[in-house]
Amino acid sequence: MWGIFSRTMVGMAKPCGLMKPCHLVKPVSAARVSGRYLTHQKGLPTLPVPHLQQTCERYVRALEPILKVDELKQTRELVDEFQKPGGIGERLQRSLEKRAQNTENWILLSLCRFAAKLTAGVLDFKTMIDNETLPVEYLGGKSLCMNQYYEVLSSCRIPGLKRDLVVNHAKSSKHITVVHNFQFFALEVYNSDGTPLTADQLFIQLEKICSASLQTNAEPVGILTTQHRDAWGKAYINLSMDETNRESVSAIQRSIFTLCLDGAMPQVSDEMLRSCAAVQMLHGGGSQWNSGNRWFDKTLQFIIGEDGICGANYEHAPAEGPPIVALIDHAVEYTRKPEMVQTPVVPLPVPQKLHFNITPEIKKDIEEAKHAMNMMYQRCCSTYESASLRMFRLGRTDTIRSASSASAAFVRAFDDPSKQVPSKTDCVMCFGPVVSDGYGVCYNPMNDHINFAVSSFNSCKETDAAHLAQAVEGALLDMRTLLEQTPKAKL
């Protein structure tokens, strides 16, 4: 698992369309099953591990309508190599089967466990800020202003028709916002005695949230924050007219930070993995993925995906980069340490779900925000619908691959006309361009290599992030060659 840190200007990303899955399971009347909702739990079968060959065949079939002919040919060759007798595929298959024998559900990942540890790390850093025990930073023997550290947490940007406002609730904020499946929750992260919840306590609370937000048909209210600031300012007024909406938005704005528990992004090659992760951190990948699982006005959003990708998104208005880098370094290092605090045995309150009343006008604003990305990317992409696995013990959801060769042909028929602050951890930092025809270039120098992240707008024909990245790499390699050829000085 590797981290990515990104800074983005709100409204840069233009999102695309969401499809609502149909309701396959209807809830039974509570009056008929009162007090007996776990009656049949032990009788449910465990989720089986599919055969390796079956998994590989389905994987290739899901890629057929998405990949080019040469890419698909290479994929088939790699899959054949993967499932050879005695190969890595068989070894991994045996590991899965062994895991299935020792767990109630082999597919459940430790998403909430890592998220809990990361949150505990951030709260540990916040304690140093609140107690004023954070080490003073120096540059050239002179102390630096530390005020920005007090602006990073519990801050939020509020949209306005003419200008935005940045507010900070550091003294009163005791909760974080958690977003899962486009649904927002307020999670209290301090005990009654003022001590922060332990990682174990946070894990329990995050599990509650995930269990309470399994449905994926919620309106992606968060996608409104991706709009141009003027458009979002108008939509914000519409959204705030309702009292319930105002209370929910206020809870988000007053929170310490936002924790986004994302669904998996489409699988890509190893070469494209970091680019895909950067996209996920910058804007969520579009409305059909995780752009609605955000509140981009929040100064700090931590993002953790089902597929292991994790990172953060930083709204730049309240502070610059160094405080964020220091916070993330501390949090990442914290996750690598064993839990040293004993978890108190106390009852924990149920996390509060933040509700939104969606009026026709708000619905229109959401659709317009989603439509912006659709107009930019009219192409077939890897698409899925959720399938319930609740027939199996601890079952969550799996995916139904909607894209097929037939649907791809159908779509084609319609289109046929006859910079930097180094981080201690090896993470990739990135930000978007500040002008429409510019580039965003950020680098993180490590001991033996440098991480570069280059971005540009897809809508600009004059810019090419990949070409610029190659040029930077070429220039650095030329410099290395020159330095290697220069005779060493005889001292």
- Given the residues 169, 316, 330, 371, the one annotated as active site: 316
- CA of 164: how far to CAs of 51, 144, 178, 286, 432, in Å? 55, 28, 24, 24, 20
Distance separating alpha carbons of residues 165 and 299, to the nearest angstrom: 12
- CA of 448: how far to CAs of 47, 88, 428, in Å? 45, 30, 15
Dihedral of CA atoms 188, 193, 194, 199 in degrees, nearest 10, equals -60
- Is 51 catalytic? The answer is no
Dihedral of CA atoms 60, 61, 65, 71 in degrees, nearest 10, equals 20
Q: Measure the CA angle with vertex 1, ends 433 and 187; round to 5°.
A: 80
**In this structure, what token pair is assigned to residue 236?**
């914000």
- CA of 194: how far to CAs of 170, 197, 214, 335, in Å? 14, 9, 31, 22
3-class DSSP assignment, residue 317: coil
3-class DSSP assignment, residue 468: helix
For residue 271, what is the DSSP state? G
Distance separating alpha carbons of residues 273 and 267, to the nearest angstrom: 8
User: Nearest 5°: phi and psi at 453?
Assistant: -135, 125
| Residue closest to 177 by CA, chosen among 264, 283, 301 | 301
Residues 6+ apart with CB under 8 A from 79: 56, 59, 60
Active site residues: 316
